[in-house]
Amino acid sequence: MQKTENVGNILTEIIQRNDLEPKMLEQKVFDLWRKRLGAPFGTKTIPVSLSDGILKIYTEYPPYKRELLLLKQRIIADLNAALGQPILTDLRIELRSLETASPQDTNANQPKPSHEPSQPTNTDTTHRTTPEELEQIEQALANVTDTRLKKSLRQLFTTQSKDNS
């Protein structure tokens, strides 16, 4: 139990020190979107961004957009209940091709459904994560045993390293 508490404390400190709480919350909302909505909405829509309580969603299917708009208040209430706090205030649903959406539109740190890289992918051509940064990230994640959490944190830290350069 002591190791778990130490890892938790270290992660909390890293998150607070690097002001990663908004990104962590965004990742949690994205994950909940897929889990709570399930098929087909969770797989035929992409949560893109969370800003000021507004969750932006892309779908390429007009009937899904209409259905999401009809269920908007129920979805917001369900996600806020799962989050344990009233984070979401609105959903913005846009019709976009999910295949051709650009990285800045689809949030580059979102995992692609059909492929899971073992190393973080970097779609930003202006900054590549240096080997030193990757080593720091791996050291910070060394004691994290949950593979999904480790993957999410790796993506988050990689994105944060790009944002800080």
pLDDT digits (tens, 9 = 90+) for 37-77: 887 887 889 999 999 999 999 999 999 999 999 999 999 99
How high is the pLDDT of residue 114?
36
**Four-CA torsion 128, 104, 31, 127, nearest 10 degrees:** 10
Integer angstrom CA distances of residue 155 from 47, 66, 101, 151: 16, 32, 19, 6
Does the pTM surpass 0.85? The reply is no
How high is the pLDDT of residue 164?
60
Give every residue of the chain whose pLDDT is below 70, as ranges: 1-4, 100-128, 160-165
> Which of the 8 DSSP states describes residue 85?
S
How high is the pLDDT of residue 124?
39
Separation of alpha carbons 155 and 31, rounded Å: 14
Separation of alpha carbons 65 and 17, rounded Å: 38
How high is the pLDDT of residue 86?
92
How high is the pLDDT of residue 116?
35
